[in-house]
Amino acid sequence: MAAPDRLRRLLDEIAAEARETAGRTGRAAFAPRVMQAIARARREAFVPPAEAEWAYVDRPLPIGHGQTISQPFIVALMTDLAAPQPGEKVLEIGTGSGWQAAVLAALGARVFSVEVIPELSARAAAALAAEGFDGVRLKVGDGWQGWPEEAPFDAILVTAAAPELPQALLDQLGPGGRMVIPLGGPQEQQMLTLFEKAADGSISRRDVLPVAFVPFVRPSRPA
């Protein structure tokens, strides 16, 4: 099947899964602009060459270093929940392949993404540049601390499962901001969770969908 046909089939699958999970997510259909961004950020350019033939299958794929590129449906869901508007500042924790960052950039957001594995960050930087998303800012380091110099953010997406809500990230969310994060420890069922910060700073929380992300790594700090 030619790439455009595979892409169309993937978009159909994402739309079908959105309908099937609407009772839990509250989203029967994702915004058309989110679906367009999924299409524009060519996933095949962000997976290792050996995985390219699976790029348009709705599954996570290995990207080396024990990490994965997220499942397209989950990327669409998280992006729709975070609802980044053009010009908004968006923080991603866990650059991985760079594909989620590219989807956010395709929506016109100003994207800042932190990755703890230097080799993955370097590969993501190359793929983002090759695909014309060179405005994305990348940093190597522990995402638990967020990116305080660039805060506040209008939206924050965490793409690795955290045992608890990182307080620094909540602090770096601006008024009106949305944060999407899988919460759950290594042996627990993870829950994709949406936090919203109102204009007065109060926080609301909603459980969205059970998910399976790679765990958040906590680099060991000097004692």
Strand partners, 179: 156, 195
Q: Is 70 a catalytic residue?
A: yes
Q: Enter the tokens of residue 24.
A: 């839990």
Q: Shortest Cβ distance from residue 34 to ligand SAH (Å)? A: 15
Three-class SS state of 207: strand
Is residue 182 at the binding interface for ligand SAH, with CB under 6 A as the rule?
no
Q: Shortest Cβ distance from residue 81 to ligand SAH (Å)? A: 15
- The single residue among 68, 71, 79, 190 that binds ligand SAH, judged by CB under 6 A, is 68
| Other Cβ atoms within 10 Å of 92 Cβ, number | 29
Is residue 70 at the binding interface for ligand SAH, with CB under 6 A as the rule?
yes
Contact 77, 208 (CB under 8 A): yes
Is residue 172 at the binding interface for ligand SAH, with CB under 6 A as the rule?
no
- The single residue among 94, 146, 177, 184 that binds ligand SAH, judged by CB under 6 A, is 94
Q: Write out the binding residues for ligand SAH, residues 72-91 only, by CB under 6 A.
A: none
Q: Which residues contact 15 (CB under 8 A, 6 or more apart)?
A: 29, 30, 35
CA separation for the pair 174, 155 (Å, rounded) = 8
Q: Which residues contact 13 (CB under 8 A, 6 or more apart)?
A: 58, 72, 73
Positive or negative torsion for Cα 67, 133, 145, 117: positive
- The single residue among 67, 71, 172, 190 that binds ligand SAH, judged by CB under 6 A, is 67
Active-site entry in 70, 97, 113, 121 = 70
Is residue 143 at the binding interface for ligand SAH, with CB under 6 A as the rule?
yes
Q: How many residues bind ligand SAH (CB under 6 A)?
A: 23
Residues marked as catalytic: 70
Residues of this chain that bind ligand SAH (CB under 6 A) = 67-70, 93-94, 96-97, 99-100, 114-117, 120, 142-144, 159-160, 214, 216-217
